[in-house]
Amino acid sequence: MSNDLLRIEDLRVSAGGTEILHGVDLAVGAGEIHALMGPNGSGKSTLANVLAGHPGYQVTSGRILFKGEDITRLRVDARARKGLFLAFQYPEEIPGVSVVQFLRQALSNRTGIDLTVLELRLKVMDAMKDLGISSGFADRYLNEGFSGGERKRNEVLQMAVLEPEMAILDETDSGLDIDALRTVAEGVNRLTTPERGFLIITHYQRLLDYVTPQRVHILIEGRIVEAGGPELAARLEAEGYDAFRDQVSA
């Protein structure tokens, strides 16, 4: 029996009749942090969206296993209830809905338990305190007028409140200044537990200066061309993606 929390087996994915992922294999164990790195257009965000159940992509072969269960055909909401979380590269604004209101509904959908407004607020306030987020953040409308860093902090807050077992961060470091980057990294480190897995999707090593993954996977042209320990990210930083392109098979 595999102990993998998330396992992707020979995954092939198409959109608009064009194949984007060409047989991806990847496994993340409980308590592990993995990094998926690749240049623009390599298929990183496609993989993140497919794992979350985005209906705009077609899985043509292979499967996705979460806690040993095949979730390849499950809807987005069903995956979320099972404990799969996606932090978006570009989180959407939801005017008129406060952060705390959004979290109350999301937590209810995730767990089936309806906390009172007071219970939820206390839970959110505790999480914000742990993450170093201002208490006034809870009553702002979701992502409305948020800076890039505030949007990403909100994604980390959602993880802290919803307590997913598997968190996928799709280029969470994109566009962040150094302070916001550290806040996100500290959030990931605080939320790392023996039961929770992380898949951090990124272009660059800079987030990995603050979060140390057990495994690094390099995705180029829809294929994972190499995997290794954290030293692989340092090699990538030194040599660039061109050093790995000749490993892309036809």
pLDDT in tens, 124-179: 999 988 888 888 888 998 888 888 778 888 888 999 999 999 999 998 777 778 88
At residue 67, the pLDDT reads 96
Q: What percent of the chain has pLDDT over 90?
A: 60
Domain boundaries, the chain: 4-245
Nearest-angstrom CA–CA distance, 3 and 9: 15
Q: How confident is the model at residue 93 (pLDDT cuts 50, 70, 90)?
A: confident
Which pLDDT score is estimated for 149?
79
- Which of helix, strand or coil describes residue 48? helix
Identify any residues that bridge with 209 across adjacent strands, giving them in sequence order: none
Phi, psi values for residue 184, rounded to 5°: -65, -45
Given a cut of 70, whether residue 188 has pLDDT beyond it is yes
pLDDT category of residue 250 using cuts at 50, 70 and 90:
very low
Give the model's pLDDT for residue 135.
83
Q: Which of 100, 101, 89 is nearest to 172 (CA)?
A: 89
Location of structure tokens 């800076």: 147
**212-223: average pLDDT:** 96
- State which amino acid sits at residue 80: A
pLDDT at 81: 94
Compute the distance between CA of residue 195 and CA of residue 181 in angstroms, rounded to an integer. Answer: 24
| Banded model confidence at residue 249, pLDDT cuts 50, 70, 90 | low
Integer-rounded Cα radius of gyration of the chain: 18
Q: Which fold, 4-245?
A: Rossmann fold (3.40.50)
Residue 242: partners with Cβ closer than 8 Å, 6 or more residues away: none
Of 139, 183, 190, the residue nearest 160 (C-alpha): 190
Q: Which among 189, 214, 211 is positioned nearest to 26, based on CA atoms?
A: 214
Question: 8: part of which helix (H) or strand (E)?
Answer: strand 4-15
Task: Provide the b/e sequence for 163-178 (b: ≥16 CB within 10 Å).
Answer: bbbbbbbbbbbeebee
Length of the chain, please?
Answer: 250
pLDDT greater than 60 at residue 101: yes
Confidence band for 84, pLDDT divided at 50, 70 and 90: very high
Predicted local confidence at residue 248, as pLDDT: 78
Mean of per-residue pLDDT scores for the chain: 90
First-to-last CA distance in the chain? 33
**Confidence at 1, pLDDT banded by 50, 70, 90:** very low
Measured over the CA atoms of residue 243, residue 224, residue 21 and residue 246, the dihedral's sign is positive
CB 83 within 8 A of CB 51: no
pLDDT at 72 over 90: yes
